[in-house]
Homo-oligomer: A and B are copies of this chain.
Amino acid sequence: MNLKQMSAFREVMLTGSVSEAARNLNRTQPSISHMISGLEDELGMRLFERQRGRLHPVPEAQYLFKECTDVLNRISSVSQNMQRMKTMESGELKIVSMPGPATVILPELICQHLGTKPEVKATLLSRSSDAVQQLVGSQQFDLGIADHDPARTIEASLVSAETFFFDCICAVPAEDPLADLPVITPAELSGKPLATLFTEHRSHILTRRAFEAEGQSLNVRFVGQFFHPLLTYVEQEFACAIIDPVTAESWLSRAAQPNSIVFRPFAPAIEFGIDLLTPAYRPASLLAGSFADRLIEVFMKIGARRMGQGSSGEAVA
């Protein structure tokens, strides 16, 4: 049994005539006739009684007709669905991220990306960077976003990573005199209250190291788990903060009073890396691929330096 036979058979059942079926299917009558007799031979039974030049379906043909109809409909809907997946009008986008980007910037990007595609579903999970790698490695997610930590070894056999390096920038209250400086250094911040991440975080360590290298005093007044909340302390003029530019960008685009904080370059450079993880050996879905492109575009606009790593450099390209 093949689809040609099945659709010929269906058409004959619908029209009650080989000739009519042939016209509807843009074939010649002998072609359809041949299909039907081929099907009959294959099944080893008559599907139609030939009476006075006409075809009359036997009872068993009714059963076959229903099945053929179902199968053919199913296949045509599969084709349609594949087309929609191709144009990304359908499908699923599964992302797992560390908590920072998961709160604002990723939901925002996902909304932009899915804008006019009601059929597309999106999943965004917020997990620790270690868990992100684990989940992407288990092939359950299309894309993972994690803190880059040189201490963490990428399981290259399971995920591909591409790292984007940023230089952290300094957030100061707009009213603060520091806001007038083009670049901010430990000397300017010496003794001033700062808001930073917890002491184990790489950005905290690098900040402390920078202050120590220049012999300046580091006054950590506020400690948080993510960058974003630190900006509230800055906004309220309680502290300055050295944060990553991705968070700064999302704050600028979202805050009620974007003018209340100014962002200035910080020297020496405090490098902050974000890993984009994709499942190894499992090509990105079209949807995930173009989403990664969009995310990378945002990163590059903010001034990221790109650096492939893991099993394959162009995995997220």
Contacts and interface: CB of A to CB of B under 8 A. Distances in A.
Interface of A: 1-4, 43-46, 49, 51, 56-60, 62-64, 66-67, 70-71, 74-75, 78-79, 81-83, 85-86, 91, 139, 142, 157, 279-286, 288, 312
A56 B283 contact: yes
A62 B142 CA distance: 14
Contact of A58 (B81, B280, B285, B312): B285
Contact of A285 (B60, B79, B288): B60
Contact of A281 (B46, B51, B81, B142): B51
A86 B282 contact: no
A74 B75 contact: no
How many copies of this chain? 2
Nearest to A61: B281
Contacts of A79: 1, 43
Contact of A78 (B2, B44, B67, B279): B67
B2 A60 contact: no
A279 B284 CA distance: 47
A124 to B, nearest CB: 17
Nearest to A4: B2
Contacts of A74: 67, 70-71, 74
